[in-house]
Chains A and B, each alone.
Chain A
Amino acid sequence: MISIKNLNKNYGSTVVLKDMNLELGSGRIVGLVGPNGSGKTTLLKILAGLTSDYTGKVLIEGSEPGVDTCAIVSFLPEKTYLSDWMRSVDAIDYFNDFYADFDRLKANEMLTQLRLNPKQKIKTMSKGMQEKLQLTLVMARNAKVYLLDEPIAGVDPATRSLIMDALLKQYCEDSLMVFATHLISDVERIFDQVIFLGFGEIKINEEVDRIREKYGKSVDEVFREVFSCLVSL
């Protein structure tokens, strides 16, 4: 589904992604974890076709990220981009017009699941509510690839559980979901596989249960160990 070969990306003299190689198949939920500034967002933006000044080869279903792949890639950016005046229903209409794979039924179902009021204006929503709405819009597409940048960072633990339930319910079984987060302990059980990113490099890329088997610890604990080491270096 996704194939990355020798990917390099700099911002000026700062190296963000360093000679990365990665293959990801369909039917999987992949956790992309790493401390702040490790390159998670940059990688997702490249996959979403929003950043193109990189070197190396990136292919999604055989095409370079761009107009072609937008039709099959559903991206949840870290920042809100919805207009203030809209209500949830307007945002759903907007997405429905824009994406051929948008599933209105799924969107309405998810609004209910996440306890959002369809008639509420975005302007009057809390940050957490806006995040839930945005996630609804992104997940309601029947896409092949979902790229979620920190979908649970801004919400309380109860809402986090609600969001995870909704993700597990709505997730299409033959799609690929890449889920960037630094809150690992809350979500590691929904991942097939976790990629640890540190300073633009892949430190660990392994099945969650393999990590637990190998280290006798949760992914969260291994993460803390790997990265406290890196920081102290």
Chain B
Amino acid sequence: MTDPFDDKSPIYLQLVIIFKEKIANGTWPVGGRVDTVRDLAVQFRVNPNTVQRALAELEREKLVFSERTSGRFITSDEDTVRGVRDHLANLCIREYADRMSRLGYGSDVILKMTEEYIREKRFSDNRGVREKGEEKHDFD
């Protein structure tokens, strides 16, 4: 496992994000059981109380819930899961926009550059395919 943690922010907050990502992308499936605190502590090589704290935060946000006897489960509510995914996406975008504006770009330019980048990327992806195709033609 590559180390998913940074050295600056509190570990429980990083765990909250990591767990949310797993819920958002379905690695932890909707309605599924959450591993035990000890298992998660071993998996992520972190303190069990820190795992507990992160899970408590997820519970507070209604992403997981406890069943008294059978453990913790991920919410079955797909809207909630979609909500988390959108939230995480927004965090990415905000971070990106903040960095761009720190570099001195205004909103219009940021939008334009982003659009160009994405179009360029698509274009080059497509071109990549087309070029391969053309090469084949040449050989023919």
Contacts and interface: CB of A to CB of B under 8 A. Distances in A.
Interface residues of B, number: 17
A165 B49 contact: no
Contact of A217 (B7, B42, B46, B50): B7
B19 interface: no
Contacts, number: 54
Contacts of B29: none
A56 interface: no
Given A168-B38, A168-B42, A28 B49 contact: yes
A210 B10 CA distance: 7
Interface string B7-42: 111111100000000000000000000000010011
15 contacts: A29-B47, A165-B45, A168-B41, A168-B42, A169-B38, A171-B48, A189-B50, A191-B47, A192-B47, A192-B50, A208-B47, A209-B10, A209-B12, A217-B7, A220-B7
Given A208-B47, A221-B7, 15 more contacts: A27-B49, A161-B45, A165-B42, A168-B38, A168-B42, A189-B11, A189-B45, A189-B46, A189-B50, A190-B41, A192-B49, A208-B11, A208-B50, A209-B12, A218-B7
Interface of B: 5, 7-13, 38, 41-42, 45-50
